[in-house]
Structure 1
Amino acid sequence: MRLSSETLHASTVAIDGRAVVISGPSGSGKSDLALRLLGRGFKLVSDDQTYLRMDDEGRLIASSPPTIRGKLEIRGIGIVDMESVMDVPVALFVELTSDMQRLPDDSRERLILDARIPLITVDAMTASAPSKVAVGLDRLGLKLR
């Protein structure tokens, strides 16, 4: 039996109708990177837990569980209310790591619910992390999936 939905330990932001799922271990900087992307014109989809489902067109759709919708945890400040968007097609999967490859393969993907989502790795603790996510969306020429 195939799953039709899944909840990931991930934060998700969106821009121009494209969602970026940010995954990594606890404390790796998911919420912090999401906050920095919000300052670049992205909108919050979900923080800490992201609900993913396939739509009728075969696209992977990201939203927030109702209990945390519009909430973002900011370390040192607490949980704050944020403007958020729902039901956004996923275009990119970002895996947070401090073990970066210098020249990774551009064709890496993450399989989620039978959807193949382009994957990049980023060290969230670097100043360039938000720029790398934006470049990842543009450079890979990502279309909605």
Structure 2
Amino acid sequence: MTQGPTPPFDPLEQTLLHASCVALRGRAVLIQGESGSGKSGLALELMAYGAELVSDDQTVLLELDGALWATAPASIKGLIEARGVGILTAKSCGSAEVVLAVDMDAEEQRRLPHPNEKTIAGVRVPVFHKVDTRYFPAAILQYLRVGRRGPQ
């Protein structure tokens, strides 16, 4: 596992996004979407399967040597909202390298989609669109573990 920067990131070099982020073995997924789109809910599901919280609702990002790193603002580190339950505490893993983004505002319709990418803070990152199935969190964790096979 690559050693990332130590939080807090330099405020002049960081980007703050409205996003949640969890990591597995230092590899993070950035979960983006409008308020109420299910960012925190997906993060909680991933955490139930073994991921660790990086940040909920607001994520600080930093490009370092071509990699994208995420951490939480100090004021919300270790906190995650569970809609209808309240603010929960969680172990935070500090910083992690973002290797995947999930767009909760776009729903994937194709059975075998071609890979999507977007640029976040100057770094190209693979993107999954929301999939409305019970196995979506498990698929994300499998991607964090070993990646994805290219287009068929």
- Mark yes or no: TM-score above 0.5: yes
- Partner deviation per Cα, 1:76-100 (whole Å, 9 max, x = no partner): 2100111011121111011114632
1:31 matched residue in structure 2: 40
**Unpaired runs of at least 5, structure 2:** 1-11
2:96 matched residue in structure 1: 88
* SS of aligned partner of 2:93: coil
Deviation at 1:20, TM superposition (A): 0.5
Deviation at 1:129, TM superposition (A): 2.2
2:148 matched residue in structure 1: 140
* SS of aligned partner of 2:46: helix
2:17 matched residue in structure 1: 8
Match of 2:70 among 53, 59, 62: 62
Taking structure 2 as the reference length, the TM-score comes to 0.82
Distance 1:63 1:88 in 2: 7
Match of 1:45 among 25, 46, 54: 54
Matched letter for residue 51 of structure 1: V
Distance 2:70 2:14 in 1: 10
* Amino-acid identity (%): 43
Give the aligned CA root-mean-square deviation in angstroms: 1.7
User: What is the count of residue pairs matched by the alignment?
Assistant: 136
Matched letter for residue 42 of structure 2: L
* SS of aligned partner of 1:25: coil
* SS of aligned partner of 1:20: strand
Are 2:118 and 1:115 equivalent residues in the alignment?
Answer: no
**Unpaired runs of at least 5, structure 1:** none
Taking structure 1 as the reference length, the TM-score comes to 0.85
Distance 2:32 2:122 in 1: 18
> Cα gap change, 1:99/1:120 in structure 2, threshold over 3 Å: closer, same or farther?
closer
Distance 2:20 2:113 in 1: 23
